[in-house]
């Protein structure tokens, strides 16, 4: 697979493709690639002639005391995964390429505050500002026609869609369904932090969320003829039960929330497109996951 590390290398690789009128796709990643990332690549393939996969562990989206230094970096294995025709170009920038004047005084993008302030944003202040800051840079550097992000980080997907919309990036954003292990655990680079005992319990999170999503669908059905207050109580009970289910299995829960898919606000009367989202710790590992309500 072709590689670019500097802006100049990236631009000289892209120029002939763009010149020939080819459609470009960008798959932004932080590396340590797994089947979830390959699903992103597969998702953009029908929309593009050329696929660029970026690998960059972005420091500005990690808070103090988070896992930036120990985040798994496996560039050689990543490049092997990207070979075999899966993508056309791997963009592997260093900090100087992404933040040329240094991070401290860099130009930052601020994520839409209401959307980015809740759930993950409340647990990890500033996280989404770092995400949109680096994604804006990647979009500007690559100027893709299409870009893909995983639904596993559902709030991130929404925050990025909002930024793309607000700032008018001419890019189509694809949200790609989560890839799961046989026991339901959503694929994530952070799963490798789990010790054996925690790994055996980790699948419980997706089970609990799937059940909560089913119950939410029932409340929605029933509440057609009731007022919004009863539905809201039903959602609270579901959140509470899911939290208990996780705690019984040894999770420390940051949040379990039934939310509107559109903006992750609490559902109001008439809202039917909902999602159940959770974040919880197993030992030192923080897991997040979500399920659509259908
Ligand atoms: O989801 C990720 O891997 C990262 O948050 C992203 C979108 C590549 C930005 O660093």
Positive/negative CA dihedral, 159, 161, 163, 166: negative
**Average of pLDDT values for 85-95?**
94
Give pTM, 2 decimals.
0.97
**Per-residue pLDDT at 84 exceeds 70:** yes
Q: What is the DSSP letter of 186?
A: B
Q: What is the pLDDT of residues 1-45, one digit of tens each?
A: 999 999 999 999 999 999 999 999 999 999 999 999 999 999 999
Could you tell me the end-to-end alpha-carbon distance of the chain, in angstroms, rounded to an integer?
40
Torsion of CA 42, 47, 49, 55, to 10 degrees: -50
Q: Which ligand 1 atom is at minimum distance from the Cα of 57?
A: 10
Instruction: Give the pLDDT of residue 230.
Output: 87
Catalytic residue list contains 127: no
pLDDT above 70 coverage of the chain, percent? 99
Instruction: Give the pLDDT of residue 228.
Output: 77
- The mean pLDDT value of the chain amounts to 96
Mapping DSSP to helix (H, G, I), strand (E, B) and coil, where does residue 253 land? strand
Pairing of strands 274-282, 146-150: unpaired
- Distance separating alpha carbons of residues 69 and 202, to the nearest angstrom: 24
Mapping DSSP to helix (H, G, I), strand (E, B) and coil, where does residue 95 land? helix
Distance 221 CA to ligand 1 centre (A): 36
pLDDT-derived band at 266, boundaries 50, 70, 90: very high
Q: Is the CB of 30 under 6 A from ligand 1?
A: yes
The token pair at 237 is: 């009970």
Residue 262 CA: distances (Å) to CA of 40, 232, 258, 267, 292: 21, 17, 12, 10, 12
Q: Is the CB of 60 under 6 A from ligand 1?
A: no
Q: What is the pLDDT of residues 196-223, one digit of tens each?
A: 999 999 999 999 999 999 999 999 998 8
Residue 15 CA: distances (Å) to CA of 47, 144, 172: 19, 12, 20
Distance 273 CA to ligand 1 centre (A): 25
Q: What is the pLDDT of residues 113-172, one digit of tens each?
A: 999 999 999 999 999 999 999 999 999 999 999 999 999 999 999 999 999 999 999 999
* Active-site pick, 37, 108, 145, 240: 37
Looking at the chain, list the stretches that DSSP marks H as alpha helix, in order from N- to C-terminal side: 7-19, 35-44, 75-82, 95-98, 113-117, 120-123, 127-142, 154-167, 196-202, 204-222, 228-248
Distance 28 CA to ligand 1 centre (A): 6
**Average of pLDDT values for 59-71?**
96
Q: Is the CB of 58 under 6 A from ligand 1?
A: yes
């Amino acid at each position: 697979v072709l590689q670019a590390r500097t802006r100049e290398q990236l631009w000289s690789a892209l120029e002939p493709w763009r010149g020939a009128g080819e459609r470009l796709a960008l798959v932004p990643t932080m590396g340590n690639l797994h089947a979830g990332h390959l699903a992103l690549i597969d998702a953009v393939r029908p929309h593009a002639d050329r696929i660029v996969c970026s690998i960059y562990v972005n420091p500005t989206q990690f808070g103090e005391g988070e896992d930036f230094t120990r985040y798994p970096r496996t560039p050689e294995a990543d490049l092997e995964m990207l070979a075999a025709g899966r993508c056309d170009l791997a963009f592997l920038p260093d900090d100087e390429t992404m933040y040329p004047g240094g991070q401290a005084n860099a130009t930052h993008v601020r994520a839409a505050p209401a959307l980015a302030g809740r759930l993950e944003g409340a647990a990890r202040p500033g996280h989404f500002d770092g995400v949109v800051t680096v994604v804006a840079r990647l979009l500007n550097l690559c100027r893709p026609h299409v870009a893909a992000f995983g639904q596993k980080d559902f709030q991130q997907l929404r925050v990025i869609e909002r930024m793309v919309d607000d700032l008018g990036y001419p890019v189509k954003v694809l949200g790609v369904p989560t890839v799961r292990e046989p026991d339901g655990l959503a694929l994530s680079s952070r799963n490798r932090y789990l010790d054996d005992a925690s790994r055996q319990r980790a699948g419980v999170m997706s089970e609990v969320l799937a059940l909560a999503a089913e119950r939410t669908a029932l409340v929605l059905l029933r509440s057609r003829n009731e007022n919004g207050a009863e539905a809201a109580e039903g959602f609270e009970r579901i959140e509470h039960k899911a939290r208990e289910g996780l705690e019984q299995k040894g999770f420390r829960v940051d949040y379990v929330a039934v939310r509107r898919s559109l903006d992750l606000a609490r559902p109001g009367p008439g809202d039917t497109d909902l999602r159940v989202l959770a974040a919880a710790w197993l030992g030192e590992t923080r897991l997040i996951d979500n399920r659509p309500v259908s």
